[in-house]
Amino acid sequence: MMFTALAVDMGNWVSAYQIVVRRGPVELTYLYALSAAAVSVVLKSMHPTRAKTPHLSPRVLLFLGAPGSGKGTQSSWLSSRLGMPILSTGEILRSEAKRNTPAGFRLRQVLASGALVDDDLVCAVVGSRLRRDATGGNETSRGVILDGFPRTVQQAAFLDSVLADLGFPRPCVIHLEVSSQVLLTRLTARRQCAVCGAIYNLVSRPSLRGSRCERDNGALIQRDDDSEGVILRRLADYQKSSQPLVEYYAGSDYHRIDGNREPEQILERLLEIASPQRLLVEAYGD
Ligand code: AMP
């Protein structure tokens, strides 16, 4: 008997599966649409010994890529397709920076300059968020998507220790590679909804409502750190810190993706890499 997960996505965690039964020269094919949970139960009964491993355990997807490489857009699309929450350090830090406190003020200055925020502070924020979400309810039962973290090897090592503590697996790393010229063009044309954070681009993805968000009519603004001078600094910082991170993750579940392509094509590739079907096929073969 052969079990095959078809690349047919019918929404969050619901997919079509094909079971092929061969009896001599006769081959019968059955097609089922099942939730991933149901598939897991079926597989457990087919492979009682191997089923002890939790194959649909929470996953951690993380994005490496320069500012403007599409991490935010792809995280948000993947989040709605896979039903996994996003933890974006940039978003968290921007919201912390709005506070009228000395710490908020200092953070505003760092963000506006385009420099990286201190490792200890970012690690503390991410650690407490992950612990809170993982222990406070079901939100991370399918895992989490990290956007913008880690950005240094120290952060990557910290992440490994928190994930191990929480019983999460090592992350699946997605590295979006984009040429500098494309990054500069994208970032200077990037606009973000002041209310919900949705991302638009004046050139490649303008809002159908002009300078207002299509979802909630919020004003579309340019981030303080998306001016050309600051962008150049952020890109230079990224060049310095990215290679050690790539080396850190070499040999693990690491995927280099050509991020110059259309965002929809990139999403398709990411879904192939990140979908729960891949885990099932890896666990049981095809
Ligand atoms: P992003 O929205 O990911 O482009 O991040 C915006 C800004 O937030 C960055 O330019 C940094 O100043 C800060 N930031 C976000 N994530 C991190 C991180 N992991 N480590 C240090 N600084 C970060």
Domains and CATH numbers, the chain: 2-52 (no CATH), 59-178+222-274 (3.40.50.300)
93 Cβ below 6 A of ligand 1: yes
Instruction: State the Cα–Cα distance between residues 224 and 152, nearest whole angstrom.
Output: 23
* Residue 123: HSE in the Cβ half-sphere, 13 Å Cα cutoff: 15
Under 8 Å between Cβ of 269 and 259: no
**Token pair of 167 as six digits:** 């019983």
H helix runs in the chain, sequence order: 36-46, 71-82, 89-97, 102-113, 119-135, 153-166, 180-188, 228-249, 263-274, 276-284
Ligand 1, atom 10: nearest CA belongs to which residue? 114
89 Cβ below 6 A of ligand 1: yes
223 Cβ below 6 A of ligand 1: no
148 Cβ below 6 A of ligand 1: yes
Phi and psi angles of residue 108, each rounded to the nearest 5 degrees, phi first:
-55, -40
CA dihedral 265, 270, 273, 278 (to 10 degrees): -90
186 catalytically annotated? no
To test ligand 1's pocket by mutation, which of 87, 89, 126, 234 has the most ligand atoms within 8 angstroms of CB?
89
Determine the pLDDT at residue 132. Answer: 84
Determine the pLDDT at residue 142. Answer: 80
Determine the pLDDT at residue 194. Answer: 93
44 catalytically annotated? no
Listing DSSP states for 131-193 in one string gives HHHHHSSSTTTTEEEEES---SHHHHHHHHHHHHHHTPPPPEEEEEE--HHHHHHHHHTEEEE
Ligand 1, atom 1: nearest CA belongs to which residue? 90
Determine the pLDDT at residue 284. Answer: 53
Active-site residue among 71, 94, 129, 186? 71
Determine the pLDDT at residue 46. Answer: 44
* pLDDT tens series, the chain, 286 aa: 444 443 333 333 444 444 444 444 444 444 444 444 454 444 444 443 343 444 456 789 999 999 999 999 999 999 999 889 999 999 999 989 999 999 899 999 999 988 899 999 999 999 988 988 777 655 677 889 999 999 999 999 999 999 999 888 899 999 999 998 889 888 999 999 999 999 999 988 999 999 999 999 999 999 888 888 889 888 988 988 899 999 999 888 999 999 999 999 999 999 999 876 555 555 455 4
> Can you tell me which atom of ligand 1 is nearest the CA of 111?
12
Cα-Cα end-to-end distance for the chain: 10
Q: Determine the distance separating the centroid of ligand 1 and the alpha carbon of 231, expressed in angstroms.
A: 12
Whole-angstrom CA distances from 167 to 37, 40, 57, 58, 163 are 20, 20, 9, 9, 6
> Can you tell me which atom of ligand 1 is nearest the CA of 147?
3
Q: Determine the distance separating the centroid of ligand 1 and the alpha carbon of 282, expressed in angstroms.
A: 34
Which is it for strands 172-177 and 59-65: parallel, antiparallel or unpaired? parallel
Say how many C-beta atoms besides its own lie within 10 A of residue 118's C-beta: 12
Determine the pLDDT at residue 254. Answer: 95
- Return the closest-CA partner of residue 1 out of 285, 262, 259: 285
> Can you tell me which atom of ligand 1 is nearest the CA of 110?
12
**Token pair of 116 as six digits:** 């990286």
3-class SS of residue 21:
strand
Q: Determine the distance separating the centroid of ligand 1 and the alpha carbon of 123, expressed in angstroms.
A: 12
Instruction: State the Cα–Cα distance between residues 264 and 267, nearest whole angstrom.
Output: 5
